[in-house]
Structure 1
Amino acid sequence: MATDARDVDENLKLDENLLAALPEGGKVVSVKPSGESDYCNTYRIEVELPDGGSEVFFEKEGSGDQGWGLVESAFTSESATYEFVPEHVPRPVSLGTYKSRPDKHFFIARFIEMVEDDTPRPESYMAAVAALHSRSMGKAPGGKFGFPVNTRFGDLEQDNAWSDSWEEYWTRQMKGYLDREDAAHNGEPHEELERLRPLFLEKVLPRYLRPMETDGRSVTPCLIHADLWPGNVKYIGDSDTACMYDACAMWGHNEVDLGVFRNPRYQLGKPYLKEYWKQVPISEPEEDVDSRNTLYMIRGQIMLSILYPHDPKLREIFVSNMRLLVERVQDEETAQSSQQGPTQSHL
């Protein structure tokens, strides 16, 4: 067990269970706030090792059932991604509960110095993403879609119950997100969203998900990060290697991770997508890739509307993209009907 060697009040010293997760014989010499989080506390912990060296750790701390969900999500997600791309993910160390405060929980990982104000170039950014997908492809437990625990996007719980079908899994998630988006707005009427919702669920999702699992095609689940906005991907020190963190992982279709690169909210765009496709083939049917990219982008936009319901622009953004896909499918159906011509009856 490590000891807390800081000259501070006993009430401010680190909890015994937290010290037990740090290097044996180490001495905690510094504890400082690290980063910003709307949902939990985060700290940088420096430990002096018995050999005279030092090691630095990152701690995420949460309270109550919600806090446990947050730190469990972080530990399980980071452990899964670290298994496949250890060069791109901070090494997870421990998940636990304070001995002195049974209602407080922690997640510890190795602290990595990152360049905070610089978004990695497409080559570095997508090397990490493509490596995660390629190395984990086909290695999902039982070949299923889902994850062992319900992970968190911010503090929004993600239903990761296992499924054999990608269409079933994604449709269930989207229905759940739309229900929670409605609840977050206290059932406030939105005529266009009410019109689009059944069309989106009953026409758009089958149109762009089902073809990947029919006519001899299938979706092979890989491990996806599921929150790859630029705040979660940074250069490691002065290297060209990108570090990914704060995952809300799941086993799913690899293209889900590409939705964020289309989102105009972030300064990413086509150069990042093009770099990814150099390393990972587009799923079949290839002609649907643009629509699938929009479909997966909508997930993140709905989640933001749930987390920040007082910003009406967030709701309008995802509604406009739902409308785009609904109209695209309707235009396609109209074109097919025209090609078939009028139905003739034979007496």
Structure 2
Amino acid sequence: MADSDYRSSGRPASGSILNLKMGERRATLSRSVVISPYSASRVPISNIALMRQIIEREEFVGMAEAEYEGQKAMAKVIPENAVMPIAWGYFQDDKTKAWFLTHFRNLLANAPKISEFLPIVRQLHEKSVSPTGKFGFHVTPFYGPPPMIVDWTDDWEFFWTREFRSGLQYAQKMRGENPELMEVAEEFIEKVVPRLLRPLQTGGRTIKPSLCHGDLWDGNIQMDVDTEKPMVFDPCPFYGHHEMDLQCMRSPRYNIGYNFVKEYAKVGASQPHEDFNDRNALYAIRNDIMTAGMWPQWASLLDQAKEEMRRLIAKHPEGLAGFEGDITPNDIRE
């Protein structure tokens, strides 16, 4: 979430201390404060550097809780590469504004080496466990300005299609009605989506709901100057198919790009392996549509998304019927 129109951030100004017991999730804020993460008593903390983020538009106040819950979930799984947050809350006298507080880290905007970053992403995906065993998240995350739909479900195809349709609506709201886009998208949803996603959970194949960062592009991946380790932050968290976390890396506009995707495929591709590249293209289409909606300068990505959908439709014209493997529902097989 890099849109300065809806969120500002920075290190906290000096001020009074609002005491917060460890483990508390919420507090109220009436002015610039420093919060002690270590004690419930009033103590000087001049040697502790903290970072605050202030959300000043009412429609986005939920971002504070989503940021807190996402960072907390990641820090439990990759503690050396994600910062455990401190607190979030609303302003005491103005519930249309919210804040998020975490430890300040001195970061350098350098992309890590693939060999260094790949094990971290794998650990996030493999070691995380959905609290419900389903796809979704317990609070609403934001993919930039628009909120995601993350109600819990066992069906990954349903989860992704629901979010894809929401993204199409958002892009049209921001860039105008696009009948051609919607026509292509409907055929894409009818043919390509079931062809590529349903085999993940049929024929005895399964995928576990993994914690996904959700917005894993190089702007949210930087190097910690002090520890010399990659750090990830600013998540759009949900438990989903881990390959969706590669959605930003297919495009050459990102520094951490397709070379990472190819290396990840060698160690983390789901069955059927032969569909990995097309699944990555499918997930990347959603990212392009959302990016076009968020940023006017990237509106041309809608045309690129249409062409990529047409390419996949041409490759899979029969839809699910064209899949040559077993697509027996797993509950019937059992």
TM over 0.5, shorter chain: yes
The amino acid across from 1:208 in the alignment is L
Q: Distance in 2 between matches of 1:104 and 1:178?
A: 28
Please give the residue correspondences for 1:228-247 in structure 2 after superposition, counting only pairs within 5 Å.
228-237=216-225, 239-247=227-235
Q: Distance in 1 between matches of 2:95 and 2:134?
A: 35
1:322 aligned partner: 309
The superposition leaves residues 265-303 of structure 1 with CA deviations (integer Å, 9 ceiling, x where unpaired) of 21333431244345x432001110010010111111111
Distance 1:98 1:55 in 2: 23
Number of equivalent positions: 299
Q: Distance in 2 between matches of 1:105 and 1:316?
A: 37
Q: Give me the whole-angstrom Cα distance separating, in 1, the residues matched to 2:34 and 2:300.
A: 47
Distance 1:253 1:216 in 2: 16
Residue 118 (structure 2) aligns with: 126
1:310 to partner: Cα distance: 5.9
Contact 1:18 1:96 in 2 (8 A): no
- Judge which range, 72-81 or 264-273, deviates more: 264-273
Question: CA–CA distance in 2 between the matches of 1:80 and 1:244?
Answer: 12
State the 1:82 CA deviation: 1.2
Distance in structure 2 (CA, Å) of the matches to 1:268 and 1:64: 31
Alpha-carbon distance, 1:219 to partner: 1.6
After superposition, the C-alpha distances for 1:80-108 in whole angstroms (9 at most, x for unaligned) are 11111111112200011222444321100
State the distance in 2 between where 1:182 and 1:4 align: 44
Structure 1 CA distance, aligned partners of 2:307 and 2:243? 21
Which of 290, 313, 320 is the equivalent residue of 1:303?
A: 290
- Aligned counterpart, 2:271: 284
Q: What are the within-5 Å matches in structure 2 for residues 1-347 of structure 1?
A: 4=15, 15-16=29-30, 19=33, 21-23=35-37, 24-27=41-44, 47-48=45-46, 54-116=47-109, 118-136=110-128, 139-187=129-177, 189-191=178-180, 193-237=181-225, 239-277=227-265, 280-309=267-296, 311-330=298-317
Structure of greater relative contact order (alpha carbons < 8 Å, 6+ residues apart): 2
After superposition, the Cα gap between the structure-2 partners of 1:3 and 1:331, relative to the gap in structure 1 and judged at 3 Å, is closer
Q: Which moved more, 1:93-102 or 1:282-291?
A: 93-102
- TM superposition shift of 1:321: 1.6
Q: CA deviation at 1:323?
A: 1.6
Q: Pick closer, same or farther for the CA change 1:165–1:334 going to 2, 3 Å.
A: closer
* Distance change in 2, residues 1:150/1:318 (3 Å): same
2:24 maps to what in 1? none
Distance 1:227 1:56 in 2: 26
Change (3 A) 1:333 1:211: closer
Distance 2:86 2:322 in 1: 56
Which runs of 5 or more residues in structure 2 are unaligned?
Answer: 1-12, 17-27, 324-334
CA displacement 1:221-250 (0-9 Å, x = unmatched): 110001011000011115442100000000
CA–CA distance in structure 2, aligned partners of residues 131 and 90 of structure 1: 16
1:238 and 1:105 mapped to 2: Cα distance?
A: 30
Percent of counterpart pairs with the same letter? 30
Distance 1:216-1:265 versus aligned 2 partners, 3 A rule: same
Deviation at 1:335, TM superposition (A): 8.5
For the 8 Å contact 1:77–1:247, the answer to whether it is kept is: yes
In the alignment, what sits opposite 1:41?
A: none
- Contact 2:58–2:97 (CA under 8 A) maintained in structure 1: no
CA contact (8 A) 1:124 1:240 kept: no
CA contact (8 A) 2:246 2:261 kept: yes
Residues 335 and 21 (structure 1), Cα distance of their counterparts in 2 relative to 1, 3 Å cut: closer
SS of structure 2 residue aligned to 1:156: coil
Is the 8 Å Cα contact of residues 145 and 162 (structure 1) preserved in structure 2?
A: yes
Deviation for aligned residue 1:180: 1.9
- For 2:322 and 2:190, the matched residues in 1 are separated by 19
Q: Which one has a larger percent helix, Structure 1 or Structure 2?
A: 1
**Secondary structure, counterpart of 2:271 in structure 1:** coil
Aligned partners of 1:212 and 1:102: how far apart in 2?
43
The structural deviation recorded for 1:304 is 0.6
Which has the higher Rg, Structure 1 or Structure 2?
A: 1
Structure 1 segments (4+ residues) deviating >6 Å = 331-336
In 2, Cα distance between equivalents of 1:245 and 1:285: 31
1:55 alignment partner, SS class: coil
